[in-house]
Amino acid sequence: MAAWQEIPWAKVQRHVFRLQKRIYQATQRGDVRTVRKLQNLLTKSWYARLLAVRRVTQENKGKRTAGIDGAKSLTAPQRWRLARKLRLEGKATPLRRIWIPKRGTSEKRPLGIPTQADRARQTLVRQALEPQWEAKLSAHFYGFRPGRSCHDAIEAVFHRIKFRPQYALKVDIMFRRALYRLYADRCNVESTR
């Protein structure tokens, strides 16, 4: 076993990206069976598990936020152990609940913080599902997508109204269940609720 610092991260990212690209292409073809098989392959891939652990414990902005287990940061041997035991079966551990202030009011709202292991699990699943979602969602949808920002949305609006004035409508959707159902229907995802 090599040291954590000696892992060829470029090779790991290429391997995971290659699998994600195959998921994207299979989704565009409409080959649901291949998509599911590739997603299963990606979630069991050693490189995908290594990358999920790295993103959660080293790259993420909240990497030093402790969950209910109290672990704020992991050492290299602990990261190896986490990558080795990272599986999607079993139950998630309870969340650490803290209260944060709401913007503009004196009220507070609850915030649940998962453990490092649960965050790595979530990242592993996200790596498998994002290519499928990207293939199905509209090219003009800019909310919470990898590689997209508000600058892209502003640029698209600018190019759209550059020669002919049009109206722009800003909508803030508050109906999470309706929005989830819309995504689930669009991406053929089975409901877990």
CB 126 within 8 A of CB 79: no
The pTM for the full model equals: 0.77
Beta-bridge partners for 97:
112
Model confidence pLDDT, tens digit, residues 70-122: 888 899 999 999 999 999 988 989 999 999 998 888 899 999 999 999 999 99
Give the per-residue pLDDT at 192.
Answer: 53
Mean pLDDT score of the chain, rounded to an integer? 86
CA distances 54 to 33, 59, 177, Å, are 30, 7, 31
The answer to whether residue 173 scores a pLDDT higher than 70 is no
The answer to whether residue 172 scores a pLDDT higher than 80 is no
Give the per-residue pLDDT at 114.
Answer: 92
Identity of residue 165: P
**Mean pLDDT value of segment 23-42:** 96
The answer to whether residue 64 scores a pLDDT higher than 80 is yes
Q: Tell me the two tokens of residue 79.
A: 């990261």
Beta-bridge partners for 111:
98
